[in-house]
Amino acid sequence: MKSLKSFRLGGIHPPENKFSAHAPISSIPLPKQLIVPLGQNLGVAPKPIVKKGDEVKVGQLIAKADAFISANIHSPASGKVLKIDDATDSSGYRRPAIFINVEGDEWDESIDRSETINREIVLDRQQIIERIKDRGIVGLGGATFPTHIKLMIPEGKKADYLLINGVECEPYLTSDHRLMIEKGEQVLIGTKILMKALEVKRAVIGIEANKPDAISHLRELSADYTDIYIQALQVKYPQGGEKQLIKAVVNREVPSGKLPIEVGCVVSNVGTAFAVYEAVQKNKPLIERIVTLTGKAVRKPSNFLVRIGTPITDLLEEAQGMPEFTGKIINGGPMMGKALSTTDIPIVKGSSGIVLLPQEESRRPEEKPCIRCSKCIQACPMGLEPYLLAKLAKLALFERAESGKIMDCIECGSCQYTCPANIPLLDYLRLGKQKVGHLIRTRKN
């Protein structure tokens, strides 16, 4: 038997724990109040264009992007703007947000809310990019990079492949899995739209082999879309990393410090492809997303279709409450996500899942000295030396960390997962990346 495609260097096999894989996507009742943070995308936060007391409809523009790397925000509910004030975000910091008191559910007239699938792509390339920009679509894999910028290929470069990332290699999370099963056709049309915008001939949807139902479903559907290929991939974390996916699917290596377009690839998440379909064919802005709420002790692990700005507390209620002895609430997957300090924070465009860890799993084991076993080096999918870089970051030797290519770290956490001495390698690497990034920026200016 031929082994499945995968990236070569490193990688780990954490327990999958995909409890919510068979929970259909369900929507939750609208909360009384939505908190829509302004800084939801990578880059510059958009500026609010509504005032206190304004009436808004679902899908109405409420914050406009005026910088290059920025994305519009639309109202996820109809009602009245209560205030524009600071709200606690996932890290506990208070950042500006628009508070909306929900009244009814009145949608903007321009949005097509019918269930019919529009297969024909009528817009041309420029119009598609313009529409995606206008509808505030960002990458839903977690990085929230504005999608329209990804589609504007720089002068002199050419894209050969569009890769759609349906890998979902993070343990626990299943939102992309459910999306591919339930909205497979829309994802394929979204892929076609992205292909048209990028002017590429071939697209590959990469899916890890632990989702056979999604693979066979999309393969059936893709009979009508001959230029989209469904690629099953080996189950290995971090298969869904952008650079790892490119290596696995088209066997090209993105050079250090460069973007995927350097090797003729553009990578988008399946969630993004679906959002693009809705924006272009239905004129619907990015006002809701699928969020997995799961955990070993959660009574009802679920995949929710949630309006942006819904407090996590509401999701917990819908999943029959927070289980007793919950030690950590993680925003994102257990490998790359960050622990929350409160549940009163809203779902944003980049929230892919909420994972509740029981107390005994959430405590960090005691840190012991490094024994130079080099397991972290073997696990690093980027070919770095995590033990050394972490040490350099700890000792504030940032120039040496920079020459050790610390900026290539994708923060996947494989090193920390595999470390037998329980050293928080990723934490130190993140610290080092922040400092080195700061150094590089000051050098540029």
Partner 1 sequence: MNDILLFSLLTLGLLGAIMAIVLYLVAQKFKVIEDPTIDLVEDILPKANCGGCGFPGCRNFAEILVKQANEQQNIDGFNCPVGGNAVMKEVASILGLEVQEQAPMIAVVRCNGSKANSPSKVIYDGPASCAFAHNLFSGEGGCQYGCLGLGDCVDACDFDAIHMNPLTGLPEVNDKCTACNACVKACPRGIIELRRKGPKDRRIFVSCINEEKGGPAKKNCSVACIGCSKCFQVCPFDAITMKNNLAYIDFIACKLCRKCVEVCPTDAILEINFPLRKPKPAVEDKKTSTEKTATVATIKQDTSSESTV
Judged by beta carbon, residue 83 or residue 300, the one nearer partner 1 is 83
| 234/343 with CB nearer partner 1 | 343
**Nearest to partner 1 of 201, 438 (CB atom):** 438
Q: Is the dihedral of CA 316, 319, 325, 327 positive or negative?
A: negative
Q: Tell me, what DSSP letter sits at residue 120?
A: -
CB of 326 to partner 1, least distance (A): 12
Nearest to 149 by CA among 287, 44, 256: 44
Q: Which long-range contacts (CB under 8 A, 24 or more apart) does 80-86 make?
A: 80/53, 80/54, 80/55, 80/56, 81/50, 81/51, 81/52, 81/53, 81/54, 81/56, 82/33, 82/52, 83/52, 84/48, 84/50, 84/51, 84/52
Paired tokens of 426: 């990723």
| Distance in Å, CB of 92 to partner 1, minimum | 3
Least spacing, CB of residue 325 vs partner 1, in Å: 14
For partner 1, which is the closer residue by CB, 300 or 394?
394
- Closer residue to partner 1, CB minimum distance, 198 or 376: 376
- Per DSSP, 406 falls in state G
At its nearest, how many Å lie between partner 1 and the CB of residue 308? Answer: 22
Instruction: Give contact residues for partner 1 (rule: CB under 8 A).
Output: 86, 88, 91-94, 338-339, 341-342, 363-364, 394, 424, 427-428, 430-431, 434-435
Q: Which is nearer to partner 1, 185 or 427 (CB)?
A: 427
CA separation for the pair 11, 384 (Å, rounded): 12
**Cα–Cα distance measured from residue 411 to residue 430, given in angstroms and rounded to the nearest whole number:** 7
Strands 202-208 and 161-165: parallel
Pair of tokens at residue 110? 């321009």
- To partner 1, the closest distance from the beta carbon of 147 in angstroms equals 26
Tokens of 241: 């990393």
Min. distance of Cβ 102 from partner 1 in angstroms?
23
